[in-house]
A and B are shown apart, each in its own frame.
Chain A
Amino acid sequence: MKKQIEGSQAVAHVVALCRPEVMACYPISPQTHIVETLSRKVKAGEVGNCQFLNVESEFGALSVLIGASAMGARTYTATTSQGLLFMAEAVYNAAGLGLPIVMTIANRALGAPINIWNDHSDSMSMRDSGWIQLYAEDNQEAVDLHIQAFRLAEELSCPVMVCMDGYILTHAYESVDLPTQEQVDAYVPAFEPVQVLDPQDPVSIGAMVGPEAYAEVRYLAHHKHVRALEAIPRLSQAFQDIFQRPSGGLLDPYETEGAETILLALGSVNGTIKDAVDDLRKEGWPVGSVALRSFRPFPSHVLRHVVQDAKRIIVIEKDLAMGKGGIVSSDVKMALRGLPIIVDTVIAGLGGRPIPKTSVIDTVKRACLEGLEEPHFLDLNWEAINRELTRQQEQRRSGPTPENLLREMGVPGAKPV
């Protein structure tokens, strides 16, 4: 049923329908509405016998779920940014132990400097942890990916992160088709653990593994991701069969037929990109776009197949690898090696800086006409940067950079949006 609803509320609604048994949550902006709503639902008795724990930290939250999942319970939590880093040890631990935990990441920038707005630096920091990473383009997708995540995680015995842009999606109020309990039950079967703590059949979970076997254990974890490349499209098809709408899959091509230039991105910016593609096409530019749904596993083969006839891929990413440049673009370049395709890296949207359609259009034109430097920083205030660099060169004690820059840019809030 279609409902005009806030993204966070929609996600909470659907997670509850997936019949979690244990949730442990620690609040952090911009995920708070999700966990608040879930705690209310549990307390009101709307989620069966689900146990909701208010824990002392994000590290505690994921640790609680590790125990609960090992005990055979379906588990869920949500976090972002600093919280994800705080639980980093547990993130790797959960994946290494093969526990099918589902976690929402309400993507938010990492500090320092502290920033509560959206970018992908948080989930990018955990990209090699062994968690499957899915990115939602809009709130419908966010809802649908959570449902698919529970089934995917439990089928493979691998934890799954569903990433949705903090504020941009979590706090956006838009129309979402919410499924029924019957539909969710038809799609997500009861949890049957691969390993479980059972007094009748005791096992030791979490033993040390030395040089003689560690590599094999790690390869087998990697192999789950290889299997996920097959499972994700299959589960997407199964989703369509029950919910009667296309959703999920490894990636979503848009107007790529005959496209010489293809934009590629993760998450909500794909909406703006589609608008830009339409505008450019109207002007005669042969442009298309690819929205990557699954970032881990990285769908190299499918991507290669979809874009192989293009001349240029422009990757727009909301993250920055210090001292290097693009993260997503690196994976794209690897996937496309050997093909005569230029891959541009556009670093955009860091710390919640908006990505206007006009900037996307200008960048595409510039890339095609002049080429872009590698990496290209979208809408960066070079004047302010150069002034700060001069300041740093002139004086040893130049002070905290953020303070200097903020002073330059005036009082926040007094400027137009």
Chain B
Amino acid sequence: MIQIRIHGRGGQGVVTAAELLALAAFQDGKASQAFPSFGSERTGAPVTAFCRIDSQPIRSREPVYHPDVLLIQDSTLLHQVEVFGGLTAPAIVLINSTRNVEALHLTDFVTQHPGVQMYTLPASDLAMKHVGRPFANIGMVAGYAALTGEVTKASVNKAIKDKFSGGMGGLNVAVAAEVYDYVAANMTKV
């Protein structure tokens, strides 16, 4: 089972990100589950969402305490919320930022946690380019797919089209495509 935890702020589409991952996994023929950590959500407040993917039915209902994958949609959370809580190697961390791990002051963290692979991805910028709004969620989902192959790009694209109707679907698929290229060009796959 893969356990994914997504951190962001209310209004950034964190729950949608979790659902896209779950939907993509479903299209891939896997069992998947997505749900938010139900807080008094309001725009701007820290929110968390979870996604589990497995080859057999998922029965667990607890929050993800020990994520295998951390997607951090808003880097301002890094030193405000305990986003890394429960992170156990081997694990992947993907952070939405134009800066690299060093510029985010996380090199020490990486050194202290062998088995944790940390990446940054300018997901908001890539979204701005195509959609005109800095919704990083699409990019983060696509980035995860591209890095790990745990969900296929084809399923991610289909999930995007299912969730976003009309023109928006097409634009978001373009964002995903750009992210796939970016990852291929700039990052070593897991």
Asked if the two chains touch in their complex, CB atoms less than 8 Å apart, one says yes
Please give the residue numbers on chain A whose beta carbons come within 8 Å of chain B beta carbons, in ascending order.
4, 6, 30, 116-117, 138, 165, 167-168, 171-175, 268-272, 274-275, 352, 354-357, 412-417
- The answer to whether B61 touches A168 (Cβ under 8 A) is yes
Which residues from B are CB-within-8-Å of A274? 59
Which residues from B are CB-within-8-Å of A174? 22, 32-34, 58
Other-chain contact of A171, B26, B36, B65 (Cβ < 8 Å): B36
Query: Which chain B residues (23-68) contact chain A, with CB distance < 8 Å?
Result: 23, 26, 31-40, 45-46, 48, 58-65
Also in contact, A272 and B38, with CB within 8 A (given A174-B22, A416-B82, A417-B5): no
Which residues from A are CB-within-8-Å of B58? 174, 271
- The answer to whether A354 touches B34 (Cβ under 8 A) is no
Which residues from A are CB-within-8-Å of B36? 167, 171
Bound CA span A416–B5, Å: 12
- The answer to whether B60 touches A173 (Cβ under 8 A) is no
Which residues from B are CB-within-8-Å of A275? 59-60
Task: Give 12 new A-B contacts, CB below 8 A, not counting A168-B61, A172-B34, A272-B62.
Answer: A117-B38, A168-B35, A173-B18, A173-B34, A174-B34, A175-B31, A269-B61, A271-B61, A413-B39, A416-B81, A417-B63, A417-B64
Bound CA span A269–B61, Å: 7
Also in contact, A417 and B48, with CB within 8 A (given A4-B23, A172-B34): yes
Other-chain contact of A272, B23, B61, B80, B85 (Cβ < 8 Å): B61
Range for the number of chain B residues in contact with chain A = 20 to 34
Bound CA span A414–B32, Å: 28
- The answer to whether B81 touches A173 (Cβ under 8 A) is no
Bound CA span A340–B26, Å: 47
Which residues from A are CB-within-8-Å of B64? 417
A contact face: mostly helix, strand, loop, or mixed: loop
In the complex formed, the residue of A with least CB distance to B26 is A4
Measured CB to CB, the closest approach of chain A to B14, in angstroms, equals: 12
Other-chain contact of A356, B5, B59, B65 (Cβ < 8 Å): B65
Q: List 30 A-B contacts (CB under 8 A).
A: A4-B19, A4-B23, A4-B26, A4-B32, A30-B38, A165-B61, A167-B36, A171-B36, A172-B33, A172-B34, A173-B18, A173-B19, A173-B34, A174-B58, A175-B31, A175-B32, A269-B61, A272-B61, A272-B62, A274-B59, A275-B60, A354-B62, A355-B61, A356-B65, A357-B62, A413-B46, A414-B46, A414-B80, A417-B37, A417-B63
In the complex formed, the residue of A with least CB distance to B1 is A275
Does B115 touch A at the CB level, under 8 Å? no
Measured CB to CB, the closest approach of chain B to A396, in angstroms, equals: 32
Bound CA span A51–B99, Å: 56
Q: Mark interface residues in B90-121 (1 if CB within 8 Å of A CB, else 0).
A: 00000000000000000000000000000000
Which residues from A are CB-within-8-Å of B134? none
Query: Which chain B residues (129-170) contact chain A, with CB distance < 8 Å?
Result: none
- The answer to whether A173 touches B38 (Cβ under 8 A) is no
Measured CB to CB, the closest approach of chain B to A135, in angstroms, equals: 13
Measured CB to CB, the closest approach of chain A to B73, in angstroms, equals: 15
- The answer to whether A167 touches B63 (Cβ under 8 A) is no
Give the interface centre of B33, B60, B61, B86 by most chain A CB atoms within 10 Å: B61
Bound CA span A77–B60, Å: 29
Which residues from A are CB-within-8-Å of B18? 173
